[in-house]
Each structure stands twice: as structure tokens, then as C-alpha cells.
Chains A and B, each alone.
Chain A
Amino acid sequence: MALSLLYYAQEFLRGEWAKKFLAAKTAPLVTPPHFRNYPELTGKTCTHQLICMMACPAPGAIDVVMTPEGWKPRIHIGHCIRCGLCVEACPNGVLTSGRILESMFYDNTKLSFSFRIDVDTEKCMGCGNCAVACPVNKLIDAQMSHGGRASTDDLLLKVSEGKCHVLHVEKCTGCKTCENHCPNEAIRVARLLEAIHSPEEEL
């Protein structure tokens, strides 16, 4: 009897026991380093190619904003689904998340983007809204006339003979401005994403 009382006293009068009894029990859990968390900036220079926004599957999760230090991608928490496609797609390695950048380096993988513009000639009215709105066209020929007609053939989109024509699809940046400005849903931009190994290392 006395022995058991002594045992209980010894057991429960320990400071450690009282602390464990009153306070929380398990150690605070840490997020493992391989978890793909929200993308963070690595400090490398963003060149405003907007590939991250092209790759992002969630609406309104990422945008690239001008800050005093230059262009910076900004993640919107509450929209971001932490898929890590922006990290993988960025050609400059501006973003990082979990082990993705490390894995890309070891596995020598990358995501490559190409764009494809389809013009439905049945629906196209030749209004030229797409060609005028296109930001790539604006850089090449700032003087482009109303209606999308121009003298140069260097352009991405150009209207001739009453229809819109795609001249240099490789210049497309996939922004879909033309698609948004088309009154007749005649132009469609496809963002083609391809998961590949980097070609330099294979040679």
C-alpha cells in the first residue's frame, strides 16, 4: 500500500509529467522539404515571358507585376493549388517550390511551350481586331492600320483578302489577346505544353 502510494507520488509529482499533462503533447510537426509548397522567388531575374501564367491551371493564381526591382511573379494564396507547373515551366528559374528545381536539374527535365493559332475561315469576317490587338504585332509595326492591314510580312497576324492569316506562329507568346478581342470566336490559340528532357544534355 505504502509502496504503491510512493510509486504514484514519484510518478505524478515529476515536473515533466505535469508539463506533459497540461501542455500540448506531440512535438510541433514540420513540413518536409520535399513538399511542394507555394512557389517562392529565388532571386533570379524575371524576363517577363509570362510562361508561368500560361502554364498555370488555376484561374487567377499567378500574375507578373512590375516592382521597383523589376518584374516579379506574384502568387495569389487562396487560388494557387501548389501544382508546381509554373516552377517547372519558367525558363529562368525565378520560382522555386519543394524539390522541383533540384529534380529538374538531376533528371534533366523541362516543360516546353509552343503555340498554335487556328483561324476558322468560315467564321472570320476579316475585321482585323485580332491583328490590331496583338501585342507582338504592336512591337513589330506600331503603325498598323485599322482593319489589320499592313505592308510588312514580319507580323504574327495580318488581314489580307478579307481574312485573317497567321504568318509567323513562332512569334506568338500565347497571351490569347486575339481570342478575347475576336467578335465571332473565329480565332483560337492553343497552348501546347510538352514534357521533355532538355535537349542540350542529350547531345
Chain B
Amino acid sequence: MKRTVDVSIPIGPVHPCWKEPARVKCETRGERVISAEVELGYMKKGIERIMKGRPWQEVMFLAERVCGICSVIHNMVFIEALEHISEIVVPERAAYLRVIVNELDRMQSHILANFSYCYTIEHETLGMYLLDTREKVMDELERITGARVTCAFIVPGGVRFDLRAEDVLHLRASLDILEQDIKRYTGIFERGPMIALRSRGVGILTQEAARESCAVGPTAKASGIADMDRRLHHPTYQKLGFVPISRNEGDNFARIMVRFQEVIQSIALIRKCLDQLPEGPIRGGGIPGAGEIAYSGEAPRGELSYFIKTDAAGRVLEISIQTPSIMNIEACCHYMLKGVASLADVTSTFVSSDPCIACTER
């Protein structure tokens, strides 16, 4: 006689698969998840409160530390918002350099997300391959900006360091190696029968559900929504002819594949940038002034918005940040996790949406 039991199982906050503390409470019958709820509040530091009343040179570093994985885009969105407020013009070379560093950062973030997923489904070999590949990206990031994680590269009116001729050669050489490696790993992931068993058809997010839950970034792109990519509205990306990627499956497999494809796309974008890189100054100067703006950019996890109000001396009076992970966590808990067949798939589904708890709570 089959028995159905209702159990509420908490997962986390300290869990072997998760890098950051969050608790997912699953209502289960047998092992099938009926509903899931996420409990946050382990990482709240009050960054927005600290930012108030500070000049850009202090807020810039705090903005980087909203999220350590995608630090460059936080820096970029904050600085570009300030530039829009005070009409600072960025030299063209600096705009291209920003895109190069931003895409390198996106690559390392995506590779890290895919590593976490492979690690969670216990495919450690592929995970380690990816982590080793990520080190190559980090090397390039370090060569250009001088730091591995918190680069502090983008300042109002330009960037901090120029790209040297020998760095361009290094970058091109490692992009070739990276492209080859990532294509190989994409093949392993796409054709692996064991990976398919753990990934295909697990944690499905339909297009309607993705729209309802306001999912963004690779999570939405895997469900067939690609028009919300903020890079389409960025002038430099428009010059590069950026077209977002989308897939239709909407399962864990599609989310990881979208990230792999975006890495390949980022490599192409960087190559295009290097080809078109104009000569000229890298700094235009300019001091931020008074004004307010809502500005957004595309982080590795999706749309990132800053609302900033500054005073005449360029100090931040009010700031509010909307990070992509909060929407993706909503989509994950209320739509993807419903009907997941086993508890082992709960962790892998949660990781596949690439949640960044530090961003979410700030």
C-alpha cells in the first residue's frame, strides 16, 4: 500500500553544495517537492545605508562589494549612471575597454556558475576542467586590471589603466585557447548521458512562468525570453552588433547551455572589441554633479538597476539597487522547484538558476 507523507525539509543555510548561506524549505510528499520557500537574511550588511552621503570614490568600491562574483558590472552600472547624471563624455577607447573587462567578468562568472552546477550533480571532472579554465580568464582579468576579483577598473570619464600592445597579444592567445576549451566542455555537457539524466527535464520553467516571475538573465533566456537583455540598450554593445541568445527547453540543461553559449559569445564580443579598438585617450575627466537617474545594465545573472540621487558635490544622497538574483530566486522557488522529483535535484535546480545571495541581500 502506497503511503503519502508530508514532510517539511529545510536545506541550508550551511550546505555542502552552496557557497552562500540561504535556507530552502521544501514541503515534500515522499521525495517529490510540492512547494518550496526560500528564507534569506543571513547576509544583510546594509550597503545602501553605508553608501549614503559618500562621494563616488567610496561608493564605487562599496558597489563592487555588493557582489564579489560580478563586481565589474556593479562598478560599470554605478559609474555610467553617474556619467548620465552629470553628462560626462567617455572616450571611445575607454568605452571599448569597459566592454572587454565586463565580458571577461561575465565569462568567469558563467564558468563559475557552471562549475557549481557540475559539482552539485557530482560531475566533478567537468567541474574541475571548468574551474581550471576560469583561472585562465582570471589571469587575463588580472593582467588588464591588476586584481582578480574586485578590479576597480572603471572610473567616471574613463578607465584606470590602458590595454597595452603586449596585453592584447596575450588576450588574443588565451581567447583562442579558451574558445577551444569551452567548445570541448560544451560538447561534454551536451552529449553526456549521465548529465542528461540529471539535467534534462528537471526544474522546468515555462515561458509563461518565466514572464510571471519576472525571471531575468540566463534563467529567462533558457525559457525563450531574450528581449530583456539590457545590453541591447547599451551604445557600445549596439555598435558591436550584439544579439542575445535564447533556448526553448527551460530546464536545468538549457540554463547551463545558455551560459556556455554566452561565454562563446563573450569571446566573440571581446575579439570584435579588440579589432575595433580605437586609439586615443582613456580618460575624459569630469566631476559628478547633481541629479537623479534610474539606470540598468546586464549583469551575468540578469538585469541590474541602480537608482541614484546625487547632490551638487557628487555625493550619493539616495541609492537603491535592484539585483537580478531576487527575481531568479523567486522563479526558482515558486516555479522551478515545484514538482522536482527528488531532493538531490532540489540543490542542483537551485544552483542552476545561479543564485547570488550576497547580491540579493546586500
Is chain B in direct contact with chain A in the complex (CB below 8 A)? yes
Q: Do A83 and B287 touch (CB < 8 A)?
A: no
The residue that B142 contacts in the complex, of A32, A57, A195, with Cβ under 8 A, is A32
B interface bracket (residues with beta carbon within 8 Å of A): 20 to 34
Chain A residues with CB under 8 A of B162: 103, 106-107, 109
* Total chain A interface residues with beta-carbon distance under 8 A: 32
Residue of chain B at shortest CB distance from A114:
B287
Q: Do A190 and B314 touch (CB < 8 A)?
A: yes
Chain A residues with CB under 8 A of B286: 194
A20 in the interface, Cβ–Cβ < 8 Å?
Answer: no
The residue that A190 contacts in the complex, of B60, B143, B315, with Cβ under 8 A, is B315
CA distance A30 to B206 in the complex (A): 48
B157 in the interface, Cβ–Cβ < 8 Å?
Answer: yes
Main secondary structure of the interface of A (DSSP, over half): mixed
The residue that A36 contacts in the complex, of B146, B155, B164, with Cβ under 8 A, is B146
Q: Do A107 and B55 touch (CB < 8 A)?
A: no
Q: Do B164 and A34 touch (CB < 8 A)?
A: no
Chain B residues with CB under 8 A of A190: 55, 313-315
Chain A residues with CB under 8 A of B313: 116, 118, 188, 190, 192
Contact with B along A160-196 (1 / 0, CB 8 A): 0000000000000000000000000000101111111
Q: Do B142 and A35 touch (CB < 8 A)?
A: yes
Q: Do A35 and B146 touch (CB < 8 A)?
A: yes
B158 in the interface, Cβ–Cβ < 8 Å?
Answer: yes
CA distance A103 to B164 in the complex (A): 9
CA distance A100 to B162 in the complex (A): 11
Of B239-247, B277-285, B341-349, the one touching chain A: B277-285
| Shortest CB distance B138–A (Å) | 11
The residue that B283 contacts in the complex, of A34, A57, A118, A195, with Cβ under 8 A, is A195
Contact with B along A116-127 (1 / 0, CB 8 A): 101000000000
Q: Do A193 and B146 touch (CB < 8 A)?
A: no
Contact with A along B121-150 (1 / 0, CB 8 A): 000000000000000000100110011101
Residue of chain B at shortest CB distance from A110:
B283
| Shortest CB distance B333–A (Å) | 34
Chain B residues with CB under 8 A of A99: 146, 161
Q: A57-B61, A192-B55, A194-B286 are in contact. Are A106 and B164 (CB under 8 A)?
A: yes
A197 in the interface, Cβ–Cβ < 8 Å?
Answer: yes
The residue that B282 contacts in the complex, of A100, A107, A188, A192, with Cβ under 8 A, is A107
- Among A1-60, those with CB < 8 Å from B are 32, 34-36, 55, 57-58
- Among A69-128, those with CB < 8 Å from B are 81-85, 88, 98-100, 103, 106-107, 109, 114, 116, 118
Chain B residues with CB under 8 A of A195: 155-158, 160, 283, 285
Q: Which of B142, B158, B161, B282 lies at the interface centre, i.e. has the most chain A CB atoms within 10 A of its CB?
A: B161
Residue of chain A at shortest CB distance from B62:
A57
CA distance A36 to B160 in the complex (A): 13
| Shortest CB distance A120–B (Å) | 12
| Shortest CB distance A50–B (Å) | 15
CA distance A40 to B185 in the complex (A): 42
CA distance A116 to B311 in the complex (A): 12
B152 in the interface, Cβ–Cβ < 8 Å?
Answer: yes
Residue of chain B at shortest CB distance from A115:
B313
Q: Do B146 and A192 touch (CB < 8 A)?
A: no
CA distance A139 to B162 in the complex (A): 41
| Shortest CB distance A80–B (Å) | 12
| Shortest CB distance B61–A (Å) | 4
New A-B contacts (17) at CB < 8 Å, excluding given A84-B146, A84-B152, A88-B160: A32-B142, A34-B142, A35-B147, A36-B146, A36-B147, A57-B58, A83-B61, A85-B57, A103-B161, A107-B161, A118-B312, A190-B314, A190-B315, A194-B157, A194-B285, A195-B155, A197-B283
A-B contact pairs, 13 of them (CB 8 A): A35-B148, A36-B146, A57-B60, A57-B62, A81-B150, A103-B161, A107-B162, A190-B314, A191-B55, A192-B55, A194-B287, A195-B156, A197-B283
Closest 4 CB pairs of A and B: A190-B313, A36-B146, A196-B285, A107-B162
